[in-house]
Amino acid sequence: MTKSSSVKKQAPAPKYIAIDGPIGVGKTTLVKRLAEELKGTTMLEPEDNNPFLGEFYQDRKHNAFKTQLFFLLSRYQQQIEFKNKERVHFPLVCDYTLAKDPIFAKINLNSAEEALYQKVYALLDDQLPKPDIVVYLRAKPDVLLKRIRTRGHEFEKPITEQYLADLMDAYNGCFLNYNETPLLVVDTTHTDFLLHNDQYEILKKDILSHRQGTKQLILR
């Protein structure tokens, strides 16, 4: 008689990791480090190619629709290109999710613009693969503003703490109710985990092992 194995099977490593959160929270730096250590592929937000971004921060009301539509189409095109590639070094580590796009539409667009935007978004979103895990990074608005000021990008100078507060509320409304994939919610208010290797290793372990539902992680 053979005994049944009591060894719990280890969850398969994620092939598609998406990191999201507001501006200044550290998404891109984390993506690059994870991809390098895991010998994977980065997929970075194509924001440097958005010709409307500077105008948007100067006057959000008049420049929001074209800015957001450009982002949506750029992200969609990038995701489709990766989807159709025959060879990709996994894991694929991305510094955005398409799920966040309606956040900015809700904050920045008028009702007519948002209605049109949502129609386009729904058509595109159905065609894209879902991540194996989404990591939602968040922090208090004053902490985000300090980090943004530290990096000193010229086009980010008009960003205010109130805008970041509104943005953080919208992100929380989206991702604290998110259930499309496994979700890891990481509060980075009290520490920069990228400067503290022990905290980074805790985060990396959770990213590689979390496979069901939502988990909250507070780093201090």
Residue 26 carries which DSSP code? Answer: -
Which residue is catalytic, options 20, 95, 101, 132? 95
Give alpha helix (H) positions in 84-140: 101-108, 111-125
- DSSP assignment of 54-70, as one string? HHHHH-HHHHHHHHHHH
> Which stretches does DSSP call E strand in the chain?
16-20, 41-43, 92-94, 133-138, 183-187, 214-218
Say whether 95 is catalytic: yes
* Token pair recorded at residue 56: 């948007």
CA distance 18 to 170: 18
Residue 170 carries which DSSP code? Answer: H
Residues ≥6 apart with Cβ < 8 Å to 116: none
The CA-based angle 97-100-106, given to 5 degrees, is: 165
State residue 47 phi and psi, 5-degree precision.
-70, -30
Residue 94 carries which DSSP code? Answer: E
Active site residues: 95
